[in-house]
Amino acid sequence: MTVAEHSTDDLRARAQDAVRSLRARKERLDDASIDLILRDARSHYAWTDRPVSDDMLHTLFDITIQGPTSMNTCPARFIFVSSEEGKARLAKSLKPKNVEKMRAAPVTAIIAWDPDYWQRLDFLFPHEDRKPLFEGKPDYVHDTGYRNSTLQGAYFMIAARAMGLDVGAMSGFSNQIVDEEFFSENGWKSNFLCNIGYADETALFQKLPRFAFDDICEVL
The per-residue DSSP string of 56-98 comes to HHHHHHHHHTTS--GGG---EEEEEE-SHHHHHHHHTTB-HHH
CATH of the domain at 114: 3.40.109.10
- The pLDDT of residue 8: 81
On whether the CB atoms of residues 154 and 142 are closer than 8 A, the answer is no
Residue 132 lies in a domain: yes
Cβ atoms within 10 Å, residue 173: 21
Residue 148 lies in a domain: yes
Compute the distance between CA of residue 199 and CA of residue 140 in angstroms, rounded to an integer: 39
Work out how many domains the chain is built from and give that number: 1
Q: Could you tell me the residue range of the domain that residue 59 belongs to?
A: 43-200
Q: What is the mean pLDDT of residues 192-212?
A: 96
Would you say residue 1 has pLDDT above 70? no
Would you say residue 6 has pLDDT above 80? no
Residue 20 lies in a domain: no
For residue 86, give Cα distances in angstroms to 107, 182, 187.
10, 9, 18
Residue 38 lies in a domain: no
Residue 12 lies in a domain: no
| Angle, CA 112 vertex, CA 109 and CA 117 arms, to 5° | 140
Compute the distance between CA of residue 163 and CA of residue 60 in angstroms, rounded to an integer: 8
Residue 187 lies in a domain: yes
Compute the distance between CA of residue 47 and CA of residue 203 in angstroms, rounded to an integer: 9
Residue 29 lies in a domain: no
Per-residue pLDDT of 54-88, as tens digits, reads 999 999 999 999 999 999 999 999 999 999 999 99
Per-residue pLDDT of 177-192, as tens digits, reads 999 999 999 999 999 9
Residue 27 lies in a domain: no
